[in-house]
Amino acid sequence: MSTGLATPHRTRTAADAARNTPEDAGYAVRLDGVSKVFTSSGTPQLVLDDIRLEAAPGEFVCLLGASGCGKSTLLNLVAGLDRPTSGTVRVPFSRPALMFQDHALFPWLSAGRNVELALRLAGVAKSERRARAEELLHLVRLPDAYGKRVHQLSGGMRQRVALARSLAQGSDVLLMDEPFAALDAITRDLLHEELSRVWQERKLTVLFVTHNVREAVRLGQRVVLLSSRPGRVARQWQVDLPFPRRIEDSGVAALATEITGHLHEEIVRHARA
């Protein structure tokens, strides 16, 4: 079972931290000419092609595209769970934390112990872990969940614990792979509010993969549309709508309609290819 804790190939040294800040580089994540080829039954398949993309420190970027366009592959490359076939991936100031659609919590541990596991892997002293875990659970508005087992939590609560565990890794970069896709609309709406609040409070850089166009417009400062396989950056939109946003806001709906039209064009183009 996946722990939901990314272990990147890259490491950030103390010297790196002392020498630079995210503002010095101007970016928190950079993909420069990144391509990825997988081989299936001896046949190479180009999944990502010449991806050039940056996320600024504190920016919330949503990645959209049809199924199979390489969105999750892109996140895995940024997380360091895989390597690009060509090009470079740079995350200079923080080892990314990765949150999946499946909460991937250990059912035999309490919510608090799941969060403490991430703190232990991050090098937090045992004497500090419980207080830090309770602080993080409070941050995601689960102040009474420390001792509860996974089966005692609703789907939305489990995803909040998974978010707390991701934050426990101490990263400034949070990668989210359709984390709310399996939730009902009301729970998803509530978690949109919580994620926006935590992102702004923590000044995180977020790369958020979703199939839901309105979700992307509600959450993101920028929406990036990937073409169907091979995945390329087809188009980008700056979302110049004030926060807080609601899924039913007219501005959200209007931009989502525009983006949906381009997404449909990509799907049709791929089907005809």
> Above 50 in pLDDT, residue 9?
no
Which token pair is 79? 């997380």
DSSP 3-state of 250: helix
Q: Which residues contact 134 (CB under 8 A, 6 or more apart)?
A: 112, 143, 146
Residue 102 has a pLDDT of 77
Instruction: Dump pLDDT digits (tens) for 103-143.
Output: 788 999 999 999 999 999 888 998 999 999 999 999 999 99
Instruction: Dump pLDDT digits (tens) for 13-33.
Output: 333 433 445 555 689 999 999
Q: How far apart are the C-alpha atoms of 189 and 193, rounded to whole Å? A: 7
CB atoms within 10 A of CB 227: 21
Residue 254 has a pLDDT of 95
Strands 222-226 and 233-238: antiparallel
Question: What region does 30 belong to: left with phi over 0, alpha with psi -120 to 50, or beta?
Answer: beta
> Above 50 in pLDDT, residue 223?
yes
Nearest to 114 by CA among 127, 130, 94: 130
Q: Domains of the chain by range and CATH?
A: 14-96+171-272 (3.40.50.300), 106-170 (no CATH)
Give me the sheet containing 173-177, strands edge to edge: 97-99, 173-177, 205-209, 60-64, 222-226, 233-238
DSSP 3-state of 45: strand
Q: Cα separations (Å) of 37 from 6, 104, 198, 237?
A: 22, 27, 35, 27
Q: What percentage of the chain has pLDDT greater than the value 90?
A: 64
> Above 70 in pLDDT, residue 209?
yes
Which token pair is 152? 């005692």
Mean pLDDT along residues 268-273: 70
Split at pLDDT 50, 70, 90, the class of 70 is confident
CB atoms within 10 A of CB 106: 14
